[in-house]
Each structure stands twice: as C-alpha cells, then as structure tokens.
Amino acid sequence: MRNILKLQKKEYMGVNKMPEIKLILGDCLVELRKLKAESVDLIFADPPYNLSGENHRTVHAGKPVKLDKGDWDKIDNIHEFNLKWIKECIRVLKPHGTIWISGTLHNHPSIGMALKELGLWIINDVVWYKPNATPLLSKNRFVPSTEIIWVASKSKKYYFNYELAKKINKGKQMRNLWIIKAKRHITPHPTEKPEELLERIILIGSKKDNTILDPFMGSGTTGVVAKKYNRNFIGIEIDPKYFQYAKERVEKTGLEISLFPNFEDFEDAKQLKIPIG
C-alpha cells in the first residue's frame, strides 16, 4: 500500500524555512515514474547488492549464518534491475544535476556498465575507505574495507562545489579517496550509511533549496542530512519497517543552518561538522 508523508515548508526559529520533505512507502520502480521529469538536483542511491540467498553466508556474533537482509535484496537479474531504476533516475534528474551510486564489488561493476549503456558522463569513482572495517574470520582473502561511489551526470556541465570541497580538505584539492570511519548504526538497517558521508556528497553536489532524491531511502540518512542542510528531499522505501525508522529520524531532525546561517560560505572549514582530510 502506497503511503506518502509530506512535511511542508514553514518558518523555523525565525531564521529560514523548513525544506519540503516527501517520504514515500513503495517500490522505486513504480514511484519514480510518478515524479516530474527534470525535477531533482542530486540523487544518492544505495541500491540492493543482491547478497541475500540460501547459499549466501555472513558472520554474526562470531558465527557463520545465512545472509538474509530481506526480500528487497533478492533480485533475479541484478543488471536488468539496475538499468530500469537508473533510467528512471535519469528522467527525473535536472540537466546539470548529478547521481551518486554506492556499492561494493557485488554490484558496482553492473552499475558502471549501466551508466555507460544509458549514456551518462562518469565524473568520478569515489573510494570510501573504512579504516575500522569489521575484521574477517576467514584467512583466504583480504578484509573488505571499501565501497565505491559512482558519480555521474547527463553531460559535462554539472554542479560541483569545488571551492567548498577544497575548504573541507584544508585548502587542498579533494581526492577521490575518502577516509571516513564506519559508525555504529542508529537503526537496525543492515546497510545504513554514516551521516558524514552524505554530508560531504550533499554539500559538494548541491545548493541550499535544491531537491535531493534517494530511491532506496532505507533508514533515512540521506533525508536527515538533506533536511539538516536546508535541501528539499524525496525518499522512497519499499520496506515498511525501515520506512518508519526513516520517518522518525527525519521528523526529529532540525536545521543546522539555524546555528550557522552562512555555513557554506565559511572561510574556516573547521566550522563544518564533516570530516576533514
């Protein structure tokens, strides 16, 4: 059953207006078609990695167990699925917008192929390195400590706040290797991303009052950061349990701008509450 929650713009502490928030419970392949063409400035997506299944294993409490993140992580043809949802994202993305897609080796080769097949301009492959990644029990491979974030656009003309990226990086050009520690999850969602990662993406890839879309909203991290930094947000989530977690998190989030009205123009990057270096 489709469920839509809207948090409308209103005065917030007499400083600025609350961004418009739209949270949708539903299948992104269905819900994306209902969004207006070229209406979104930035898309962040953390799609299913297709890791779950009867013969897939993981480690829990030091013991090997069956890997089952949920029905949403069981897809018959992962590449066909990726082509479908990315195609719809391209339709709703503005001409100068960007799409950022996170993944691991299980899915990111398909994502890269899909971006090429659909004619997008690939800007970067950002490597998110987690220095505190969970150790392995097995001794036959390296410890997985990275995720790849594809960054792409419709053309070579796209919004990218180069100067802010330099300020965040102590005045130096920001490289595509981002060292950000994994954080303890706020909710039970198995692939919850740290807010610091989304802060970097949203601040560099969008402006205040822009619209951010997350077609696989999960527990709502993208929405939390978008609202905090005065961006409009559209989030789509298929799982009712995680939709509720996202709803509660986003509703509780206030605007960072209420404390620092011109934070994106600060000369001193130390005042930004995101990791430096």
- Percent residues over pLDDT 90 in the chain: 64
Q: What pLDDT is recorded for position 256? A: 66
What value does the mean pLDDT take over residues 202-223? 97
Q: Note the pLDDT tens digit of each residue in 103-158.
A: 988 888 999 999 999 999 999 999 999 999 988 888 898 999 999 999 999 999 99
Which residues, in sequence order, are CB contacts of 105 under 8 Å at separation 6+? Answer: 144
CA atoms within 13 A on the CB side of 11: 3
Residue 263 predicted with pLDDT over 80:
no
CA distance 203 to 164: 8
Q: Note the pLDDT tens digit of each residue in 176-195.
A: 999 999 888 887 787 889 99
Domains of the chain: 3-271 (3.40.50.150)
Q: What pLDDT is recorded for position 106? A: 82
Q: What is the pTM of this model?
A: 0.84
Q: What pLDDT is recorded for position 154? A: 97
CA distance 266 to 201: 18
Q: What Cα–Cα distance (Å) separates residue 156 from each residue in 79, 90, 123, 202, 203?
A: 25, 15, 8, 19, 20
What value does the mean pLDDT take over residues 12-32? 82
